[in-house]
Amino acid sequence: DIQMTQSPSSVSASVGDRVTITCRASQGLRSWLAWYQQKPGKAPQVLIYSASSSQSGVPSRFSTGGSETDFTLTISSLQPEDFGTYYCQQANTFPPILSFGGGTKVEIK
């Protein structure tokens, strides 16, 4: 099974700061990576799929980078509404086996 390791596990930053979250896979993924944001008490919502394609409505301050085993999600200018926990997720398209990173909790100072 492919293991996904996210870092940091939590980050506290101020409004306007640049925040970068890293996701490392135990083997190459090509572009089969997605990123989700989860608010407390709610289901996760996809931000990015296919490593770099933004879901409709996702602000442009969210961007991604990397390929194969190392990926990043960057919030260029942190906003108050960006608090929550972010997860990366990999999948083999066939068979459709998914796995998630451990999550990064983003807090606003």
- Residues interacting with another protein, by CB under 8 A? 1, 30-32, 34, 36, 42-46, 49-51, 53, 55, 87, 89, 91-103
**Which residue has 């990366």 as its token pair?**
88
The answer to whether the beta carbons of residues 75 and 19 sit under 8 Å apart is yes
The answer to whether the beta carbons of residues 78 and 17 sit under 8 Å apart is yes
Would you say 66 or 102 has its CB closer to another protein?
102
Say how many CA atoms lie within 13 Å of 8 toward its Cβ.
9
Would you say 82 or 87 has its CB closer to another protein?
87
Question: Tokens representing 77?
Answer: 């200018």
Minimum CB separation of residue 80 from another protein in Å reads 23
Minimum CB separation of residue 31 from another protein in Å reads 5
Minimum CB separation of residue 26 from another protein in Å reads 14
